[in-house]
Structure 1
Amino acid sequence: MVASVRLYVAVSLDGFIASPDGGVDWLAPFEDQNLGYASFFEEVGLLIMGRATYDQTASLGPWPYGDKPCRVISRRPLTGALPPGVRRWEDDIPSLITRARDHDDGDTWVVGGARTIALFLHHGCVDQIDMFVIPVWLGLGRPLFPDVPSRLSPSLARVRQHGGGVAQLTYRMRQPFDVRSDLD
């Protein structure tokens, strides 16, 4: 089986995924929205995230992803008691992409942050992007796509309006494009 590699991400109206300090408190007024997260998460068999995203998620309280396998891209060891299923990934990115594609437990969710998302986009292995545009203007922050290839050509598959002015844009990526062998 070939698993789909997906992004499921909230972004401010002006293109940021976090405030300058990495905060996401601006999302709080929209947390009660039914954005299809539960059904999306049921389809996920593997999570991949960067170290900063892992550290932030782990600091917010109980691990929100249960015991689903999670690979954290980091050259430094993960500290403290690890949640069930969490392992550090210190090998090369192409090997992680192979792992993301070859498991048979469901789709792979590239959780974030922006650098990890960019790695997967650079390697041409993102199949679908579910982007939730939140009607908040941050002005400054951490951009969703700071370092992506310049000639991506996704295809808009669906637009859905949610309460509170949230727009869900679902894109399917056209493959392949200029795939680099390794970014590290």
Structure 2
Amino acid sequence: MNYVYIAISLDGFIARPDGGLDWLENLDDPEDDYGFSDFIDKIDALVMGRKTFESVLKFDEWPFTKPVFVLSTTIQTVPNKLRGKVEVLNGHPKKIVEELNSKEFNNLYIDGGQTIQRFLKEDLIHEMIITTASVILGEGIPLFNGISGDIKFKCERVEVLNPYLVKHYYERDK
């Protein structure tokens, strides 16, 4: 199973045009992860795009204990401190899923705007957990850009986390 877990603005952006996520600050309780650790517990590995990886590298500490696979044609090596935790892959999404599944990584967290879009186009996303933040950005990086044709998901449940965050659970409906 391939999962998306992401936050979007009311107008459908996952980040500012420069990749900034400052709009998410002060909307949540820093003591509450709103179910993220439970989500991470059920996945085997993360698959993220290069831009997302570069954003995560700016964090004070590496936030993941699960293996991370970065999709990139330009990154050749990872920082020494992440060797054994991060591997760089490239190729077609179906081949990547097949390769990771053959290594017993069956539940994959797909992250990063372009990466999510590539996997959606190939019908490789089974479930999406999308938290909508009550902020209108006006411009930014859209979650669903360049997708042609219908990809139908059914909403399994909705959870109001606080006055600013609403989490939607979607499952692929074929």
After TM superposition, the score normalised by the length of structure 2 is 0.89
Shift of 1:81: 2.2
Shift of 1:125: 1.2
In 2, Cα distance between equivalents of 1:38 and 1:133: 18
Letter in 1 for 2:54: D
Say which SS state the counterpart of residue 170 (structure 2) adopts.
strand
Shift of 1:166: 1.1
**Structure 1: 5+ residue stretches without partners:** 176-184
Shift of 1:153: 0.9
1:16 is matched with which residue?
Answer: 13
Identity, in percent, stands at 26
Matches within 5 A, 1:1-184: 4-31=1-28, 32=30, 33-66=32-65, 68-76=66-74, 77-81=76-80, 83=82, 84-104=84-104, 107-112=107-112, 114-175=113-174
Shift of 1:14: 0.8
In 1, Cα distance between equivalents of 2:92 and 2:119: 12
Deviations 1:132-151 (A, max 9, x none): 00011111111111122321
Runs of 4+ off more than 4 Å: 100-103
Say which SS state the counterpart of residue 131 (structure 1) adopts.
strand
In 2, Cα distance between equivalents of 1:132 and 1:100: 27
Mean CA deviation greater in 74-83 or 120-129: 74-83
Shift of 1:93: 2.5
1:182 is matched with which residue?
Answer: none
**Structure 2: 5+ residue stretches without partners:** none
Say which SS state the counterpart of residue 14 (structure 2) adopts.
strand
Deviations 1:19-40 (A, max 9, x none): 1110001112134244211111
Measured at CA, do residues 82 and 20 of structure 1 come closer, stay the same or move farther in structure 2, by a change above 3 Å?
A: same
Mean CA deviation greater in 157-166 or 114-123: 157-166
After TM superposition, the score normalised by the length of structure 1 is 0.85
Q: For the Cα contact (< 8 Å) 2:70–2:87, is it kept in 1?
A: yes
Give the alignment's Cα RMSD to 1 decimal: 1.8
Letter in 1 for 2:144: F
Letter in 2 for 1:6: Y
| Equivalent residue pairs, number | 170
Q: For the Cα contact (< 8 Å) 2:9–2:135, is it kept in 1?
A: yes
Letter in 2 for 1:93: P
Shift of 1:157: 0.8
Mean CA deviation greater in 14-23 or 161-170: 161-170
Q: For the Cα contact (< 8 Å) 1:43–1:106, is it kept in 2?
A: no
In 2, Cα distance between equivalents of 1:27 and 1:106: 30
